[in-house]
Amino acid sequence: MPILVMKFGGTSVANIDRIQRAAKRVAVEVAKGYDVIVVVSAMSGETNKLVGYVSETSPLYDAREYDAVVASGENVTAGLMALRLQEMDIPARSWQGWQVPVRTTSAHSQARIEEIPTGNILRKFAEGMRVAVVAGFQGVSPEGRITTLGRGGSDTTAVAFAAAFGAERCDIYTDVDGVYTTDPRICDKARKLDRIAFEEMLELASLGAKVLQTRSVELAMRFGVRLRVLSSFEDNGETAGTLVCAEEDIVESNVVAGVAYSRDEAKMTLISVADRPGVASAIFGPLAEAGVNVDMIVQNISEDGRTDMTFSCPTDQVLRAEKAMQAAKESGAINFQELVADKGVAKVSVVGIGMRSHAGVAAQMFKALAAEGINIKVITTSEIKISVLIDRKYMELAVQALHDTFGLERAA
C-alpha cells in the first residue's frame, strides 16, 4: 500500500479532544488505502514545562538527562494517539525514537538524523498494522542514549520519515491553514499560497516565517518530499493548504512570493578595526566558537587603513558576542576602538524565485521603503532574496508597504 506521513504539532494535539480530532483525520486517510505514519509533537506547552523542570532541578544540567526528560512529552502524545486509533478499530501502535530506531548524532538537544531503517515498521505494516504513531523530535545516539533534535524537530522527523519510506506526501497539520505571502496578523491583505517552491519556503523559514522548521524544508528539498501545510481546525479537501514542491511543479508565480520579518535582531559594529588580511577570520571565528549566529555582514573601509565591521545577530546573543569580542581583543587577536550594539532593529526580507529572471526588484523595494521614510541600515542579497535591517518601530509599516508594492494580494 502507498504510505502517507501525517505530522500533528503541539496545538493540534493539545488535549484529548484535539487528539480525537486528529485521529479522525488519520482514519480518513486509512480509509483511502494508505498505510499511515503519524508523527506527533508533545501537547502544547508540555515541552516548555519539562524544560522548566530541568532548569529548576539542575541549572547546569547534563544534556543527556535533559534529552531524557524533554523527549517524554512526545511519548505521551504518541501513546494516547495510538490508543484513540485502537478505540476506532484501526490497528495502530506507538513507536518511540529508539524503537524505530531513529539513529542520530550524539549532539544532545541539537542532534541530527543520520539514518531511519525501515524494516521494523514495514514488517508491522505487512502484519496488518495500518498506523505507526511515531514520537517526533527524538532519536537515539550511537551510544544508545535518547537524543532530541531541537525546537521544531518534529517537522524534521516527519520529513525524514517521508524520505526514508518513499511516502507519497508529508502532510504537516498546524494551527494555520497554509503558507501566506506574509504574516496575516500584520498585513490584512496577506494571501494564502496554493503552492510554493522549496527554495522560497527555505528562505522564508530561515528569515523568520514560523510555519515550518528550516531543517525540515532542507530535507524535503534534498530528497524531493512533497510537503503540504494544513490546518488541524478546518475541514480540508484535496486542494486545501499549501503544497511545498519543486520549482518545476509551479506553472506560474509572482516575481516575489512573500515578505518575511524577524523582530528580534541586533546590529553590532566594531569601530576602527585594522584593515589587514585575516581580520574577518579573527572576528567571526571567535563569534562562531561562542555560538553567535551571525547573519548580515557589511564592511566599510576608510582612508587611514582602518575599517568598521558591522554584523547582525539575534538580540539574545548580544551579550555572548560582546564577551567573545572583548576576549579576542584582550588576547591580541584583534584590535578595535569600540563595539556598538543596536538592539532596536528588525530584518525585513522579500523572497521569490522569480527574482532570478527579473531585474529591478531591489530598486522597487528600496523606493517603497524610501516613500515611507524608512531608512535602511544594512542590505544583503542572494539569488532569490533581498534583506534589509531597519529601525524596529517601522517593521510593520515596511512589511505592509512591500506587500502592496509587489502586489502580493493578487495571484500570478
| E strand intervals along 156-314 | 169-174, 195-197, 227-231, 242-245, 258-274, 297-301, 306-314
To the question of whether residue 104 is assigned a binding role by annotation, the answer is no
To the question of whether residue 273 is assigned a binding role by annotation, the answer is no
Q: How far apart are CA 46 and CA 52, in angstroms?
A: 10
To the question of whether residue 185 is assigned a binding role by annotation, the answer is yes
Q: Max CA-CA distance within the chain? A: 78
Calculate the CA 174 to chain-centre distance: 13
To the question of whether residue 173 is assigned a binding role by annotation, the answer is no
Contact 178, 193 (CB under 8 A): yes
To the question of whether residue 269 is assigned a binding role by annotation, the answer is no
Picking from 212, 269, 221, the residue whose alpha carbon sits closest to that of residue 248 is: 221
Q: H helices of 291-337, where?
A: 318-330
To the question of whether residue 7 is assigned a binding role by annotation, the answer is yes
To the question of whether residue 103 is assigned a binding role by annotation, the answer is no
Q: How far apart are CA 60 and CA 322, in angstroms?
A: 22
To the question of whether residue 175 is assigned a binding role by annotation, the answer is yes
Pairing of the two strands 195-197 and 242-245? parallel
Q: Which residues pair with 197 in a beta bridge?
A: 245
Q: How far apart are CA 45 and CA 23, in angstroms?
A: 20
Q: Residue 379: CB partners within 8 Å, gap ≥ 6?
A: 296, 298, 386, 387, 388, 389
Q: How far apart are CA 412 and CA 407, in angstroms?
A: 9
Q: How far apart are CA 383 and CA 232, in angstroms?
A: 34
To the question of whether residue 74 is assigned a binding role by annotation, the answer is yes
Contact 387, 207 (CB under 8 A): yes
Q: Which residues of 333-351 are buried (b: 16+ CB within 10 A; e: fewer)?
A: bbebeebeebeebbbbbbb
In the block, which residue shows the cell 485502537? 86
To the question of whether residue 180 is assigned a binding role by annotation, the answer is yes
To the question of whether residue 261 is assigned a binding role by annotation, the answer is no
- Give the residue ranges of the annotated binding site: 7-10, 47, 74, 174-175, 180, 185, 210-211
Q: Which residues are annotated as a binding site for substrate?
A: 47, 74
| Residue list, annotated binding site for ATP | 7-10, 174-175, 180, 185, 210-211
